[in-house]
Amino acid sequence: MDIEGGVAIVTGSSSGVGAACAVQLAQRGCHVVINYAHNEQGARATEARCQAEGVETLVVMADIAADTDCRRMAAAADEKWGRIDALVNNAGTTKFVAHDDLEGLSKQDFLDIYAVNTVGAYQMVRAVAPVMQRGGRGSIVNVASVAAVMGIGSSIAYAASKGALVTMTLSLARVLGPEIRVNAVCPGFIQGEWLREGMGAEAYDRTLEFLETTTPLKLTATPDTVSDAIRYFIEGADVVTGETLILDGGQHLNLAPLTRR
């Protein structure tokens, strides 16, 4: 799908993977909706980088856990450009809790994490689908996690929410064709400040070193490498739908999952 002159919504695009994806799409001539929930400064920085590529942008503060916000964001894009060609469901949340700490997660923690990571992604798809169908084409990429296939990650609730997102990708791909393709990426450890802050600097550095010495490719993902895969699903995979691409340097091939060390 040629994305030049098209329109993409990238949720959670004030930093990290979302920001990298917005900029890469702008470099391909795609107009971009930049979404944030809290970090307006980061969103404006992403906007400036996108505008430097000569495209139009729209910055929207929206909490994708709220259906009204999802519909408002899709409507704003449709009103400005009259089309939506791509959606990147990147916004996510978590709580860092050791998997063996069963008392560390409350019912509300599960609900809060699912509200963004799973239900929020669904609400965004529901909001953009009519516009994509009207235009006769669309590509949706859900940003899940290797936690979905290995049962690892920041918490059991997070892993479960991303597993649900992968399953939802299959269901949506089945019903939204032929106009809309739906795929997912499952990054492993992504280098960046968000993960460093969540894990703590010592655990972050230790885990990075461990993965870069034990995974088959001896490397970990970056926002740009994850964005490369997302852009492939949008631009270069016209016959692909319902697929999940793992981006972890081969971590999932190891016999033992990464546990807290």
The mean per-residue pLDDT over the stretch 120-129 comes to 99
Question: Each residue of 224-260: pLDDT tens digit?
Answer: 999 999 999 999 999 999 999 999 999 999 865 554 4
Question: Each residue of 138-156: pLDDT tens digit?
Answer: 999 999 999 999 999 999 9
* String of DSSP letters for 99-142: TT-GGG--HHHHHHHHIIIIIIHHHHHHHHHHHHHHHT-EEEEE
User: Which of 39-53, 103-117, 165-179, 183-197 is predicted least confidently?
Assistant: 183-197
- Asked if the structure places residue 261 within a domain, the reply is no
pLDDT(88) > 50: yes
The structural domain count of the chain equals 1
Query: 1: closest CA among 86, 66, 115?
Result: 86
Residues 6 or more apart in contact with residue 99 via CB below 8 angstroms: 152, 155, 156, 259, 260
Question: Each residue of 198-231: pLDDT tens digit?
Answer: 889 999 999 999 999 999 999 999 999 999 999 9
pLDDT(194) > 90: no
Confidence grade of residue 261 (pLDDT, cut at 50, 70, 90): very low
The mean per-residue pLDDT over the stretch 85-105 comes to 97
pLDDT(137) > 90: yes
- How much of the chain, in percent, has pLDDT values that exceed 90? 93
| φ, ψ of residue 61 in degrees (nearest 5) | -80, 120
Question: DSSP letter at 217?
Answer: T
Output the six-digit token pair for 30: 């795609």
Strand partners, 33: 9, 58
- Asked if the structure places residue 64 within a domain, the reply is yes
- Asked if the structure places residue 125 within a domain, the reply is yes
The angle subtended at Cα 50 by Cα 45 and Cα 53, nearest 5°, is 135
- Asked if the structure places residue 163 within a domain, the reply is yes
Question: Which pLDDT score, from 0 to 100, does residue 198 have?
Answer: 86
Peptide bond into 178 cis (omega under 30): yes
- Asked if the structure places residue 259 within a domain, the reply is no
In terms of residue numbers, what domain contains 127? 7-191+223-249
Strands 31-36 and 86-89: unpaired
- Residues serving a catalytic function are 158
Question: Each residue of 9-35: pLDDT tens digit?
Answer: 999 999 999 999 999 999 999 999 999
Question: Which pLDDT score, from 0 to 100, does residue 195 have?
Answer: 87
Question: Which pLDDT score, from 0 to 100, does residue 257 have?
Answer: 54
The mean per-residue pLDDT over the stretch 63-81 comes to 99
CATH of the domain at 17: 3.40.50.720
